[in-house]
Amino acid sequence: MKQLISIALLLTSIQLSAQIKADGYIGVMPVGYYLDLQDLKMWENVVHNRLNFSYDFSPSVLGVIQFRNRYISGETVRDIVGYSGLIEKDDGFLDMSFNLTSGSSSVMNVAVDRLWLDFYIGKLQVRAGRQRINWGQAMVWNPNDIFNAYSYFDFDYPERPGIDGIRLQFFTGVASQLDGVVKIDHERQKTWAARYRFNAGSYDWQFIGGRLNDREWVTGMGWSGQIGDAAFYGENTLLFPDDGEQTLIAAMGFNYTFKNSLLIQAEALYSSNLSGKAESLTEFIGRQASLFSSQSSIRQLSFAKYSLFASVEYPFTPLLSGSFAAMAFPPTRAFYVGPSFEYSIKSNVYLSTFINMFVDGSDKITDIAAFQGAVRLKWFF
């Protein structure tokens, strides 16, 4: 009898292991900061671990849970009041971010940023739980990402934040689908919207409409396709608040890859709700604590009414690649530069460097408004 039980347990464990998929990464990254407004010069060290698990309950039911685990130590934790609380903050309906330890100069946080079940019923897919809703078409600024817009400058969070809600996707054809999403955040505010996506004239099109944070109606559209050999894409969103003036946020861009693998990219953003005057970038950075973090808002994708972006990427060798990005914010004299390099030590081990530098010339004196520099060693498993 004991032998039969042992054999049954062994077969069950083999079956479970076949149904469970797991992967992740771990990275070590020292980071230096400089903020002109407070004349702050700080550093921190981030150990960032990610664990991804999925389980096939049946051919029509899939479950996923993913953890983001960080151990942060240094002057940012020690000198910034409320830093540990900021790390622990969870914007979702469920609070799934926990500081396991919090000392005078270090904090260890565990955050569940994906926790959902997928149900497949014919052409209908239902996903319930914490998930990422990615409706953006552009590469830098995404006005159509009304559920979980993110900051371009957060280079250590490629997965991007998620939301708590329910998503229904009905696949109406080979290249068309109808989405419906309901989100609830930590303030119990609801955002709901629908999107119809289809292909016409060699372009992918989408139209969205709904209500944002119980405060304003929203509608928009986006597209992606090609002009010749260059990719051409864009998106725009109109906001109609219950109180206040309507807002138009629009982005458009293109990219092109040459035969030598050089990639060039350009993008522009218009935000009617933002100032067209020479506002101080330094003061904006001081107000926007989310500038370097992943959570953002489509109303604050930039700091000026007009924003321009350009970048180049090039693989110098099969193991070494580099990129250089820049932004301008006319009519202000402020700009941004962001070089980065990545070297593949092994097929799953990468050494990277990043710089985010914002230069403020609003007072006719060119100063570095903010600087962030990092070196990261990352192992995928």
pLDDT, tens digit, 9 for 90 and up, residues 35-88: 886 678 999 999 999 999 999 999 999 999 999 999 999 999 999 888 999 899
Cβ–Cβ under 8 Å, residues 379 and 369: no
**pLDDT score of 98 more than 60:** yes
User: Distance of CA 333 to CAs 35, 254, 302, 363, 381, Å?
Assistant: 18, 24, 15, 9, 44
What percent of the chain has a predicted confidence (pLDDT) above 70? 88
Q: Which helix (H) or strand (E) holds 19?
A: helix 2-19
- Cβ-Cβ contacts under 8 Å for 49 (sequence gap 6 or more): 24, 25, 26, 27, 67, 69, 70
More confident residue, 117 or 370: 117
Q: Give the model's pLDDT for residue 14.
A: 47
DSSP class of 94: S
Q: Give the model's pLDDT for residue 292.
A: 65
pLDDT, tens digit, 9 for 90 and up, residues 130-175: 999 999 999 999 999 999 888 899 999 999 999 999 999 999 998 9
Q: Give the model's pLDDT for residue 365.
A: 57
Domains and CATH numbers, the chain: 27-380 (2.40.160.10)
Q: Give the model's pLDDT for residue 193.
A: 98
* CA proximity to 67, closest of 44, 93, 48: 48
Identity of the amino acid at 358: F
Angle CA 188–192–193, to nearest 5 = 165
In angstroms, the CA 7 to CA 13 distance is 10
Minimum mean pLDDT range among 10-24, 86-100, 231-245 = 10-24
**pLDDT score of 319 more than 80:** yes
In angstroms, the CA 333 to CA 365 distance is 10
* Cβ neighbours around 137 below 10 Å, total: 24
**pLDDT score of 351 more than 90:** yes
* Cβ neighbours around 318 below 10 Å, total: 7
**Mean pLDDT for the chain?**
90
**pLDDT score of 3 more than 60:** no
* Banded pLDDT at 190 (limits 50, 70, 90): very high
**pLDDT score of 17 more than 70:** no
- Cβ-Cβ contacts under 8 Å for 329 (sequence gap 6 or more): 281, 302, 303, 304, 306, 307, 308, 335
- Cβ-Cβ contacts under 8 Å for 100 (sequence gap 6 or more): 108, 109, 110
Q: Give the model's pLDDT for residue 7.
A: 42
Q: Give the model's pLDDT for residue 209.
A: 98
* CA proximity to 149, closest of 343, 366, 295: 295
DSSP class of 160: -
* CA proximity to 254, closest of 309, 179, 198: 309
pLDDT, tens digit, 9 for 90 and up, residues 255-298: 999 999 999 999 999 999 987 665 566 666 655 555 666 667 89
Cβ–Cβ under 8 Å, residues 222 and 234: yes
**pLDDT score of 6 more than 60:** no
* Banded pLDDT at 321 (limits 50, 70, 90): very high
**pLDDT score of 1 more than 80:** no
Quick one: average pLDDT of 365-372? Answer: 79
pLDDT, tens digit, 9 for 90 and up, residues 19-40: 889 999 999 999 999 988 667 8
Collapsing DSSP to helix, strand or coil, 344 comes out as: strand
Quick one: average pLDDT of 118-136? Answer: 96
* Banded pLDDT at 12 (limits 50, 70, 90): very low
* CA proximity to 18, closest of 65, 61, 54, 64: 54
DSSP class of 93: S
Q: Which helix (H) or strand (E) holds 17?
A: helix 2-19
Quick one: average pLDDT of 119-133? Answer: 97
**pLDDT score of 252 more than 70:** yes
Quick one: average pLDDT of 229-245? Answer: 96
Quick one: average pLDDT of 89-93? Answer: 93
**pLDDT score of 367 more than 90:** no
